[in-house]
Structure 1
């Protein structure tokens, strides 16, 4: 068997609260294999999104180890984590996190440029065409619907052809029709690029489309 894409061992996350430390994650351990699609499920407040952020190096674990693609993320500082994510990880959020002063094309091209891709704008345009927005390249986020903005966010995440896709409730701000279309697109992009996908969801119908679910409760694997 090949090495896991993610190896989590006794992962802990404590954050400072007004009344003292708050334990968000409490000893989480599991592996994710190459090409696997994992649903992180559980009630609100169970730690799903925090776990995804730790796996993406956007939040630093306060205990245990998180290994991604053979690299120990818990040993890296913020700059090293940002360099590691470039080209390796695509992240899609519930709120789209597009830069409002940039066009769709510029939003998708920016991470490619940061990764040193020489034809960043050509690749960005191709990614937008893949998500059905070839006709919207010059539009700003404020000129697009929520569904279109999430498509731009998907194109931005997938344009570098990352080995890992992380999605945090990517349909949470969309109606059911747009949400279903975005999830179909996300799974299509996963197949197209052969990526390992980890997603946070409350939707049981979406969870059953994944290879397996990791259910959380009170910061632990249930």
Structure 2
């Protein structure tokens, strides 16, 4: 594979738990090509979300190397990783993580403002319209349904036009109808922005829409 957009080599992750150090990931090596859609699946506790967090620099690997968009992330500190994500990655969680005191428009504009974009609110409005929520721009999270909040979270993740979009169980808190709508949006927005999409999911119908499916078991790739 020539020049992958994301590359992991012998990645390990150990975290300090109540009973001492717990080994979460064991020697993960993986390449992801630009524009690929990749599903991470496996039983609960297999390390899927931890692997996604390591890919995004939200957890620091305890061994191995990680590079993304030609940048070695392995030894960057938290501030440098945050700056890298701001310019290159979008992250969508199962819990929407919207700021409750901000409107939908303000929530979507936050990463654009942090990146110093002068047209942050115009772009935020355009992204809300792309997810069908243009008319809800002035509403606060507690005035919206779960499906609407997840669509706002999607708009916020994609507003900076990231090269890589990471999604952790993006339909996990939604009913079937809303889950399906968010699934369609994920792929539509991926196509519109040309982003590489990597997601953790328990939904077979979502995994089946991806170019490639990676299964984890006990912190290892299940070949």
* TM-score using structure 2 length: 0.98
- Secondary structure of the equivalent of 2:74? helix
**Distance across 2 between alignment mates of 1:207 and 1:123:** 30
Q: Report the equivalent of 1:217.
A: 217
Q: Report the equivalent of 1:67.
A: 67
Q: Report the equivalent of 1:191.
A: 191
Q: Report the equivalent of 2:42.
A: 42
Is 1:13 aligned to 2:6, yes or no? no
- Secondary structure of the equivalent of 1:44? coil
- Secondary structure of the equivalent of 1:80? helix
1:78-118 CA-partner distances (Å, limit 9, x unpaired): 00000001131111000000000000000000110001111
**Distance across 2 between alignment mates of 1:187 and 1:120:** 23
Q: Report the equivalent of 1:169.
A: 169
Q: Report the equivalent of 1:139.
A: 139
- Secondary structure of the equivalent of 1:29? strand
Q: Report the equivalent of 2:84.
A: 84
Runs of 4+ residues over 6 Å off in structure 1? none
1:106-142 CA-partner distances (Å, limit 9, x unpaired): 0000110001111000000000000000000000000
- Secondary structure of the equivalent of 2:87? coil
1:2-40 CA-partner distances (Å, limit 9, x unpaired): 410111001000001122110000110010000000000
* TM-score using structure 1 length: 0.99
1:180-209 CA-partner distances (Å, limit 9, x unpaired): 100100000000000000000111121111
**Distance across 2 between alignment mates of 1:206 and 1:217:** 19
**Distance across 1 between alignment mates of 2:95 and 2:18:** 27
- Secondary structure of the equivalent of 2:14? strand
Q: Which 5+ residue runs of structure 1 have no aligned equivalent?
A: none
Q: Which 5+ residue runs of structure 2 have no aligned equivalent?
A: none
Q: CA RMSD in A?
A: 0.8
Q: Report the equivalent of 2:202.
A: 202
Q: Report the equivalent of 2:122.
A: 122
Q: Report the equivalent of 1:148.
A: 148
**Distance across 1 between alignment mates of 2:202 and 2:59:** 22
